[in-house]
Chain A
Amino acid sequence: MRFIDEYRDAALARTLVKRINRHSTRPVRLMEFCGGHTVTIMKHGIRQLLPETVEMLSGPGCPVCVTANGDLDKAIALAEQPGVIVTSFGDMLRVPGSRSSLQKARAGGADVRVVYSTLDALEIARDNRAKKVVFIGVGFETTAPTIAASVLKADEEGVANYCVLSLHKLCPPVIKALLDSGEVKLNGLVCPGHVSSVIGSRPWEFAAHDYGIACVVAGFEPLDVLQSVDMLVGQLERGEPTVEIAYSRGVSREGNTTAQKMMARVFEPCPASWRGMGSVPGSGLRFREEYGKYDAERVFDIDPGPTLEHKGCICGDVLRGVKTPLDCKLFRVTCTPEHPVGPCMVSSEGSCASYYHYESA
């Protein structure tokens, strides 16, 4: 597989590991923001290969995991309305909300369908004109432009029965909030590669300039992650935090301006509620007035019921990097992939799911 296999070369990986071990003298704490990076690190046992001076923390970069219970309850409430087809990415289905989940709603008779793409959701809308089709819009800046594109397509074609529940989140504001909270002292950030393909590397510059955090935009193969750790260690050893792009084959400083414009045409930033962090200013996306008729929150009167949090679930702490899954009393005991209590165990990019599946030996 081109652009994948080359970046999994074991011999080159060993070289990078040797280099990191040789260069690293001072203890540093790095956060890999993105759930995808956590998966790569756990799957290939990268933590084991790094020197003791390098500590890796997992961050809140899993859009499913950071969706607040109250928002998930909205999606479930929509599913339970008559004449509604809810379409969603697969990961959302098993996440427990306050009382139920999309999967449980489906078992109870709701029409909930897993789709791989908004293109599929639009198809379902075209084929079911008598019903309202809602797409649960969960994702970061990687996904938001595709949702925007689907809204524009619906508008162009007159698919009036299609709408989106916008639960999209933006990454740079939450990084700022994490750094502002001072809860976790970070030295470096492994920046999300595919989010950055869209937004560019520029939005990370504030972290280096204003907070002295070393930043490297990383791809998702083992060599990509190792290269990024090597570059971060290099910046920190030299005491010169800046933003570098390791994932140069997919990321530029400016990003994909077409995608950015499309996102901005349909959506505008707003405050959003992140699991474990409460409301973070400017970190969410809401529909602009002009496309309001595709906003599920305007189309429907949604009553999600009271929001309840699960006792003992520390997903919020795990997402902020304050605790690891191993610190959670429920991990592997009552919270397992088969019977998840919190979203970090359900999502394919959740920290707890990664720690569970790829336990180091």
Chain B
Amino acid sequence: MKITFVLLIAGVLQSFAVSSYSQSARISLYLKNVTIEEVLNQIESKSDFYFFFNQKLIDVNRRVDVEADNLPIADILNNLFRDSNIEYVVYDRQIILAPKEAAGEIKNSQQHKVTGLVRDASNSEPLIGVNIQIDGTLQGTTTDMNGNYSIVVPGPAAVLTFSFVGFITQKIEVGDRVTIDVNLEPDVKSLDEVVVIGYGVQKKKDLTGSVGIVNVEEMKKVKVSGVGEALQGQVAGVSVQTNGDPGRMADVRIRGVGSFSNVGPLYVIDGLILNDANHLNPSDIESIQILKDASATALYGSQNANEVIIITTMKGQEGPMKIDFSGNFGLQEIGRTIDMMNTEQFLYYNQLSYTNAGREWPGRPEPGEVIPNTDWQKAIFEMGRISDLNLSASGGSANTKYMLGAGYYSQDGVLEGPWYKRYTFRINSEGKRGIITFGENISLIHTDQKLTNLWTSSFTNALSMPPVIPVYDPNEPSGRGGYGYGNGKYETYNTNPVALQQSINDRQAHNRLVGNLYAELEILKGLKYKANFGIDFWLGSRKQMDEAVTMRYASTQIKFNDKLWQNTEERMSLLMEHTLNYNRQFGEHTIEVLAGFTLQDNKFKYMANEGYNQKVDGKWQIDLVGEQFNMWGSEQENRLLSYLGRINYNFRDKYLVQFNIRRDGSSKFGEKNRWGNFPSASFGWRVSNEPFFEAIRGTMNDFKLRISYGVIGDMQALGNYDYIPSVDFSGPYQGLYSFFGIDQIANEGAILTQRANPYLKWETKTTLNVGFDYAFLQNRISGSFEWFNSVSSDLLVRLPISLATGVGIDDVNYYAGSSLWTNYGEMENKGIEFSIAWRDKKGEVNYSIGANLTSLQNKVLKLGTSEGYREGDYGQVNRTQEGRSVSDFYLIKMNGIFQNWDEVFAYTATLNDGTVALIQPDAHPGDVRYEDFNHDGKIDLAGDRQWVGSPIPKFEFGFNASADYKGFDFTMFWTGRYGNKIFNGQRQTLEAMDAPNNMPADLKPWTAENPSTTTPRPLFGPNDNVLFQSDRWLEDGSFLTLKNLQFGYNLSTALVTKMKFLSGFRIFISGQNLVTITKYKGYNPELTGNGVFEQGCDWGQYPPVRTYMVGFQMTL
């Protein structure tokens, strides 16, 4: 499980065990009749040694013959002084010659004290505060302001450990030496860390674009189901909303909404360009980079304005085969349940709601009647289980490396019914001979799942279903299923959530092959040609078996037919890339040039069938449907041809320049505007390498300024053939056929039903990014800051066109279809991102803490509707208006509760014509008072909605801390949001107070005796209290959540090695979503699945759930 990085460090380690030098350093000498002094001079010139001696005590004029053919220096010296009273003592590279009686003294007096200077190997600067410890003891010291140290050691066998944050720890055996100078190598992970950028790698320190690097080592400690979840809170600018739905990915959004179409970021996995990373087993991940600005994303940037996530998977390392096996097991629970009224409480308010409406209460229990008291949350929620097993083998020789991995993951979630299983298999290998490298990364996945039925939210129904209805109703008259549902006595519009999840068996399975094959040829030194071929083949099927049971859907419908719906889907994406890369250093100039072209082809096929009434009970096959109902099928294809180029120039590691250009042609556009050019440039200035910086380099170790500017494109919103005016053979819902003849038979029809815009072109996003990276206090503190401003323009929107042009095709929603894709929209996103990390070591405790913060402002500049605004899809809750941020809440404001008739009658408005109007003439004490925003004397949606907040947080943050001590490790990770609003649609149902829904137990509806200022009176039937989408259900969505807490223990090396075959063993226990601090009243303030125009609405989506896990990782 150890993360390895590709090391590009050249050169040899500077320090090695000197004590062995005198024994191992060999020289040849052929000298006749020379003085000892001459011999010593020769040795000095042929080795690193130099001699010290007192000429008064040592006779160096004695003449000798020396004949040494590649002999150790020690042997030469022994021979030289064999018959004299001179003894020699080696200290480091110094050889001290002394009379025999004096030499012993030197040894004895010096053996216990060692002094030296510790330097940074990369720049020879002294290091302050380096920890020096004698192994096996508690004795230690640190270097002083000049990097010097002094320590008394017990004897030559003592081993000193030099450790310093940001540097590789060294152990040195003291031996004979009294002076030990050490050059510590900087830890490449932090400085020479290499990151994967588009079509290549770059040293992290040379980056000029905005690239967020995920700490994969930390990430992988957290057991997650998918990549999206893993990214949460890790990198500034990345907003992730998770959910507990088995098999469902988290919503990932980078730097806000980049276009009006709801698509996530682009994933580049081992060079393969994909729209999702759902197939990826998180255990296989080696590194994740998030490309955030135009310069960083430039080489992929024509495919997604929602930024790019680059992932590489694990590769084999040189060495014997390493086998990793891990097993993780977890339990999941909803985490929070909402205390709802029991039957007694419910009946009280149910009766009151009828009484208040002046109606007879149908719910009055008969004498002796036993009314159920169902806890619906108990009925639907279960303890979910997770199993996650991974096995991998990797290794290789200098020229061949391989990695094989297999994984199994299963999860059944907290909702009874659904489950998900994933089987993954991976082979990554690479072979090299001379100038040729071949390799491949292939992954196979099979998933099988029973989908959570989202037809109506079971999370809402688990709350709103009245307790008086039984889960199972043995007396249910039709006998089909026997699930409880509402009746005349206790009317409800809720759907029995248990029935829903159980009676609809919605199975989905897919098989997917994702892989690439590449060949690289090093034509000349520094010039490489690479060909890369990728494939993403996806075969999916879905089968919805919908049993006829008596289950009331949200309206009044009761299912009387069983229904089978089955589809198959096939996707095939092919990628071919050819790139030439030239990388060369000329003195102080380093240059990298990349040129290439790529071809992409994506195909999609779909077929579905639907039928009713299976002929054989319990058998679900299209062959057996009693009534064929419908079938569909279509094929899609799109292609992309791109040329790309990049120049990287680096002068003295101080001035860094990068230019990118990408030219793309997409089959989604017509000939007129098919091609788009997307250039970008970025500059970096490593201020800390300037001479004037020297003065503070001791504290401020690294400082780099970056600026980038560029344009990227997008066309995701567009269908594959939207620019082609095409003939429609199916037409609107009712079809294009007409009936003629004596027998009045159908005659098929076909015609152009829609218009097309042949001038469609690329959406563009122009981003200016300014940032700096910093490190100080010996790299203990490091981090970066970014400011960015991006403007997305020519956004593809469907501009409505007049029905009088003949294009209205949909008879149900008559304006659907009567619109024309047009490059019209414009949006701005700007923000700041800040990250900071602290790493240090105290004694044997290594610890680090890190935090990141993102603040984003969004503004819609041009929207493309005739009204200048657009409502969200969920009724009149959100509204997107030019000049405001996307999807702001636009609601009627609640202004308290009428406490008495006086207040009702006092609530008036004076109209323009002088008349005084009662604003809520139908109101009654206990009803909600709404703000008459436009002062027209009445409350209506048309005039009284107002801006009440945004679903976009003012800032988001992540905080993590980790520490290890001996074999123990600890990780903790928090994430949060501040300043966003959530429309709690669940509460809108629960607190409708109109009788058919259950209510939270702590709700105290208004009564004359116990007046409330927040909750109106219960009132049967539709009434003003629930009529309006008001801010009564708008809540503060800020939260802070403990995403992960983990304790692990690594069996000590000594213990492990005793077990021969084992080289590492770790066990851990962890918890996810353990604590959520929020004022939000719903299940969880993290919401997935909302579209661009209806963000921040809680309609009972699957919330993130609490997970407890234990696991082990062993390495053989």
Whether chains A and B associate is no
State the B residues within 8 Å of A (CB): none
